[in-house]
Amino acid sequence: MRKIWQIMGILAFWISWPALWVYLQRGERTRLLLVCNGEFLVLRSWLRSGRRWNLPGGGLHNHEKPAEGLIREVMEETGITLTKQQITHMYKGEYKESGLRFAYDCYVCELPRKPLVTPQKGEITDYAWQPVNAPALTLSHDVQTALSWWLSKG
């Protein structure tokens, strides 16, 4: 069943690509590098261009501050509740993949133990905790950038 969702997601991505291109050109987005005990959380959405894994996060609502939007998006996608005090802004980045481009604010959160992850039904098809020093999955460029940035500062 998961394979069917993966194929449908890839087809839906390419069919909706023109609308995504227009939609993502406006507005701000966020990403979170969630680190716990030497591992970090990655997600896979059903709507995607390929096999790459991404960080939690998403688009901001009108007049929403990036930190507030990030906390909301992480809660929606993973069921994890965070506070502004737990997150630290790392950098402003630019996502460039599959012909899509958008700017995003990237944050980091380090937790002492892994929280319970409850993937959002209808959007998130899978999640994984990956070792910080040797991830085994195919990661999107923004995940690689966030991880490199965080490792260089630590």
Half-sphere CA count of 3, side-chain side, radius 13 A = 0
pLDDT reading at 86 higher than 90: yes
Q: Summarize pLDDT for 29-73 with one digit per residue, the tens.
A: 899 999 999 999 999 886 555 578 999 999 898 899 999 999 999
Question: Chain-centre distance of CA 141, in angstroms?
Answer: 11
Residue spans of the domains in the chain: they are 2-153
pLDDT at 106 (0 to 100): 97
Instruction: Tell which CATH architecture fits domain 2-153.
Output: Alpha-Beta Complex (3.90)
Highest averaged pLDDT of the listed ranges 7-21, 94-108, 119-133: 119-133
pLDDT at 13 (0 to 100): 54
Tell me the C-alpha distance between 148 and 88, whole Å.
16
